[in-house]
Amino acid sequence: MIRTQVRTGALLLGLLLLTGWIYWPGLAGPILLDDAANLERVQALVAKEGFAVDVLTDNPSGPLGRPVSMASFMLDLYLLDGGIWGAKFSNLLIHLLTGVLVWLFSLQLFTALGLQRRRECALWVAAMWLLAPLLVSTTLYMVQRMAQLATLFSLMSLCAYLRWRRDGRAEWRSPWWALALISVVLAILSKENAVLALPLLVLLELAVLQPRDHPRQQGGPIDRLLKLHLALVALGLVTVLAYLLLFYDSLLAGYGIREFSLGERLLTQPRVLWHYLAQLLWVDGDALGLYHDAYHYSTGLTRPGTTLWALLGWGLVVPAALLALRFQRWRGVGFGLLFFLVGHVLEGSIFPLELYFEHRNYLPAVGLFVALVTALAAVVANFPAALYWSRGVLAVLLLHALLATAVETQIWSNGRMFHLVAESRFPDSVRANEGLALEMAALGDAALALDYVARVEALDPEGGFRHRLTEAMVYCRAEGRIPDETFLAWEMSEDDFRDRLVNENSYNLARKLIGGACPGTDLVALADHWGGLVLRADRQKVTPKLFLSLAILENHLQRYEQALYYVNRLLQRSPNDLRAQMMRLYFAANLGRSADYEDSLAALTRARDEGRLNAQERYNLEVLTGEAME
């Protein structure tokens, strides 16, 4: 027994070391998409004494602020190098730790399922998960720490629950159930979609543990637990229905920023799920990456033809999985497949999110690998002669995955290579071409970079002003200045004002400009022209973020009159924006506008008294009012 445990431990340790070794080059990789803003914000707040707590309480991503994830980024800064390498190193450690939990969960699950060779099977699941190439883009993409931590705590919850229910027990005095619940809370505070840990716990209880403990004593603890879980299922269904009834309109409104409709998303997701499944089992390296924005969505049951087949496929898989739950040897297969599907139920269903992201598989992949390994274990249980061949199949799958993971981590090790490969793999992706345009610009070749911008325009002819902003960024990077004729040719349509990306990119460009990234640019002329475009537009259509972009630009130019104007427009659209109030306070103080000053001071004082200001905002308020008094 001890020998087996030592051997298993050694194999697991070897597996973790191998995974770390393969991932190591990827730690030197680039900062991507949302990483920069996230890292800068954390760095800026942590750098100032007393403001670190703002990182935890005031994060704009997600309705709950994801404080656990933000705390982990802070720890990076305190304990590691504070840069992108340190953040990626932490991600790798979390990946390895989660791998250990995948192994532990599988081991406990297989024990509950009464599987033979459960230690070996659990190791196979952990190996396939740790080395899955589809998960590289989660581990090496800094900001996906959120998805990682959500998975880590979800698995911790499942492990604690299985420990609580070990040997058919369910004692409420035991601390394990509390740990399971605390883990769910921590998972949700890492990323909100970890709320799926709850249905997964219910699935575990109903599909695996209740059949194991059958027959149960009427009115006994197991029976009560069954009723509790059935009640939770009912509650879940009611919640979903209520959500649909109450928020259907806002749900539909969310699709306003997408090129596909709710129906089209629902038709597309079965294809996406099959694609994930294929990528997890036998990866096509050329389809791996971050930029799936050009994924062809389904516009009808036969457009493309695979839509219907995908739907029919899941239509067969789901009943088959439910049927498999009835047979002890195949129960793990049913559970694993349902785990995979439940894991995708939020991001792969009605919500107006983008269609395809690899990181969405970080938790569901566990279910798929559990299904695969238990399927082979069931075959071996029926035909012992198949043992070596099953191991051979798993070894071939693992070897294929390992090689692809090694290639992926190599690609992720170099920012330029990352973008070159991304563009070659996803030539129709706007983001991939934009990324490469900016890389070429960083290498000083504006002409080549503008070729890629032209490709972006061809791919997305309705992009409008977004492309002009990309073009401006290209000039900034390549030549250190935006030529006058470039920004003087800017025009903005009504659609541009509604475009979320135009607003985000405008803000990013404004920050670059005030940060001195384009020193040769005539900023006054640019601000005048840009402001003119905004002023000519219908004020109701201009978003607060665009006013904010112009306000910070004018502030940089010390044209407080214009800055105050934009910030007042911003406040008309968004009166509760405390940051805007703070800016107005500052501009009004500089201009001696007492009415605006008093107005903002009152609003900010009220917010401070109500505890709505974070540490930095409180500090800023004190400084601003102190300066004004002086």
Distance CA 84, CA 43 (A): 11
Measure Cα distances from 330 to 122, 203, 312, 314, 363 in Å. 16, 15, 22, 18, 21
Q: Which is nearer to another protein, 206 or 380 (CB)?
A: 380
Candidate residues 210, 413, 433, 503; the one interacting with another protein per rule CB under 8 A: 413
Q: Which is nearer to another protein, 82 or 285 (CB)?
A: 285
Asked if 338 touches another protein (CB under 8 A), the answer is no
Asked if 449 touches another protein (CB under 8 A), the answer is yes
Token duo for residue 169: 């027990």
- Part of the chain binding another protein (CB under 8 A), chosen from 66-74, 190-198, 386-394, 504-512: 386-394
Query: What is the end-to-end Cα distance of the chain in Å, rounded?
Result: 77
Least Å distance, CB 426 to another protein, is 12
Measure Cα distances from 87 to 41, 60, 64, 583 in Å. 14, 20, 22, 32
Q: Which is nearer to another protein, 84 or 109 (CB)?
A: 84
Least Å distance, CB 416 to another protein, is 5
Candidate residues 8, 43, 414, 493; the one interacting with another protein per rule CB under 8 A: 414
Contacts of residue 515, Cβ cutoff 8 Å, sequence gap at least 6:
none
CA proximity to 99, closest of 362, 372, 401, 410: 362
Candidate residues 403, 454, 537, 591; the one interacting with another protein per rule CB under 8 A: 403
Asked if 387 touches another protein (CB under 8 A), the answer is yes
- Write the DSSP symbol of residue 206: I
Least Å distance, CB 371 to another protein, is 24
- Part of the chain binding another protein (CB under 8 A), chosen from 17-25, 229-237, 290-298, 310-318: 17-25
User: Which of helix, strand or coil describes residue 350?
Assistant: coil
Token duo for residue 299: 């516009």
Least Å distance, CB 420 to another protein, is 4
CA proximity to 407, closest of 386, 395, 425: 425
Candidate residues 11, 33, 287, 386; the one interacting with another protein per rule CB under 8 A: 386
User: Which of helix, strand or coil describes residue 284?
Assistant: coil
Asked if 352 touches another protein (CB under 8 A), the answer is no
Asked if 471 touches another protein (CB under 8 A), the answer is no
> Is the distance from CB of 438 to CB of 449 less than 8 angstroms?
yes
Least Å distance, CB 137 to another protein, is 16
Q: Which is nearer to another protein, 433 or 521 (CB)?
A: 433
Distance CA 71, CA 49 (A): 16
Candidate residues 32, 440, 469, 534; the one interacting with another protein per rule CB under 8 A: 440
Least Å distance, CB 410 to another protein, is 5
Alpha helices in 131-220 (DSSP H): 136-139, 145-164, 176-190, 197-203, 210-212
Candidate residues 421, 430, 546, 548; the one interacting with another protein per rule CB under 8 A: 421
Candidate residues 214, 416, 500, 606; the one interacting with another protein per rule CB under 8 A: 416
Asked if 172 touches another protein (CB under 8 A), the answer is no
* # binding residues, another protein (CB under 8 A): 37
What residues between 253 and 312 interact with another protein by CB under 8 A? 285-286
Asked if 443 touches another protein (CB under 8 A), the answer is yes
Least Å distance, CB 406 to another protein, is 5
One-character DSSP codes across 293-349: TT----SBTTBSTHHHHHHHHHHHHHHHHHHHTTSGGGHHHHHHHHHHHHHTTTTTT
Least Å distance, CB 21 to another protein, is 5
Distance CA 452, CA 471 (A): 10
> Is the distance from CB of 370 to CB of 125 less than 8 angstroms?
yes
Candidate residues 116, 217, 424, 594; the one interacting with another protein per rule CB under 8 A: 424
CA proximity to 239, closest of 188, 192, 200, 195: 195
Asked if 388 touches another protein (CB under 8 A), the answer is yes
Candidate residues 2, 385, 595, 629; the one interacting with another protein per rule CB under 8 A: 385
Q: Which is nearer to another protein, 393 or 557 (CB)?
A: 393
Distance CA 168, CA 308 (A): 43
Token duo for residue 242: 């209520």
Q: C-alpha 535: how far from its chain's center?
A: 36
Asked if 14 touches another protein (CB under 8 A), the answer is no
- Part of the chain binding another protein (CB under 8 A), chosen from 95-103, 211-219, 271-279, 413-421: 413-421
As a residue count, the chain comes to: 630
Q: Which is nearer to another protein, 282 or 383 (CB)?
A: 383
Binding site for another protein (CB under 8 A): 18, 21-22, 24-25, 285-286, 383-389, 392, 403, 406-407, 409-411, 413-414, 416-417, 420-421, 423-424, 436, 439-440, 443-445, 448-449
